[in-house]
Amino acid sequence: MEKGKRVVSSSIAWGIVLIIGAVLLILNALDVLPFSQYGLGPWKLCLGALLVGISIQILLGRKPALLFLPLAGLFLVFEEAISNAVGKGGENLIPTWVVIVAAVLLWLGTEMVIPKRLSTAHGIFHNGGISLYLDAEKDLQDAHVHDIAGSASVYMTNQDLYPGNGRLTVEDIAGKVTIYLPAQWRLFVHCSDVAGRVHVPKQPEGEYEKSLQVEVRDVAGSVDFVLENQNPEQEAE
């Protein structure tokens, strides 16, 4: 996989989903496509679009087992409409707890059946704790790290050969990513976080020989930067 390709495709997917969601809302409001008569109000349409977007992200992340959860959400959101469509008059087709429990069981069972694997060298991490090694000399010109519901540690090799002025993009959805970097690199972090947590340690003011631009996009996950101090005397100061 080419660097950056995965980011572009996921951004386009989200963009399309959001645009389609907006168009459906407008069409519904204008009575062109009156979803309301099928029990689909604006909030359900928005939620449905969000869940479709998450499903696409999961498919792009090649983590099929996780798909059962947003699919269960979609069923619950559109259950009334489905019930109307099959002539059940909007009745509850399946108890909610059954849908949720079944989705969770299917997710866990499929996870156990499907062997875990890493999709690409700079790509998607699956759960169970994965390490990613980036070559600071070659990879940090424009590196991308993606995590969907996984747990990943990112390390830098050849730190002394890092030319400087690199760029790292971290995208995380409902996962946990820990990135280990030398304390001697000045980090410039731009962060976009929704319902998650991003921790960047404070760096002392001063001159740094090398810098790294970092962009973090996190949704309901956790991204931690750990600065490895190679000079204990400096830390004591």
Partner 1 sequence: MKISLELDEGKPSELILRVPRVDEEVLTLQRQLLQLLGKAPEIALSEGEREIFVPVSDLLFFETMDGNVYAHTATACYKCQRRLYELESLLPSTFVRASKAALVNIMEIRTMSRSLTGVGEITFRNSDKRMSVSRMYYQGVRDRVEEVRLKHGKG
Task: Give the nearest distance from C-beta 22 to partner 1 in angstroms.
Answer: 41
Residue span 147-166 as binding mask against partner 1, x where in contact by CB under 8 A, dash where not: ------x-xxxxxxx-----
Is 2 one of the binding residues for partner 1 (CB under 8 A)?
Answer: no
- Nearest-angstrom CA–CA distance, 71 and 45: 15
Residue span 214-233 as binding mask against partner 1, x where in contact by CB under 8 A, dash where not: ------------x-xxx---
User: Of 173, 196, 218, which is closest to residue 60 (Cα–Cα)?
Assistant: 173
- Nearest-angstrom CA–CA distance, 1 and 202: 34
Q: Angle at the Cα of 18 (from 121 to 123), degrees rounded to 5?
A: 5
List, in sequence order, every beta strand (DSSP E) within the chain.
Answer: 124-125, 130-135, 143-148, 151-157, 166-173, 176-182, 185-194, 197-199, 210-219, 222-228
Which one of 41, 64, 129, 163 is in contact with partner 1 (CB under 8 A)? 129
What would the two tokens of residue 120 be? 């690409």
Is 111 one of the binding residues for partner 1 (CB under 8 A)?
Answer: no
Of residues 51 and 130, the one with the C-beta less far from partner 1 = 130
User: Of 210, 209, 207, 208, which is closest to residue 164 (Cα–Cα)?
Assistant: 210
Binding region for partner 1 (CB under 8 A) out of 65-73, 127-135, 165-173, 215-223: 127-135
CB of 70 closer than 8 Å to CB of 50: no
Task: Give the nearest distance from C-beta 227 to partner 1 in angstroms.
Answer: 9
Task: Give the nearest distance from C-beta 65 to partner 1 in angstroms.
Answer: 15
Is 234 one of the binding residues for partner 1 (CB under 8 A)?
Answer: no
Q: How many CB atoms lie within 10 A of CB 169?
A: 18
Task: Give the nearest distance from C-beta 57 to partner 1 in angstroms.
Answer: 24
Chain residues binding partner 1 by CB under 8 A are 118, 121, 128-133, 137, 153, 155-161, 178, 180, 182, 226, 228-230
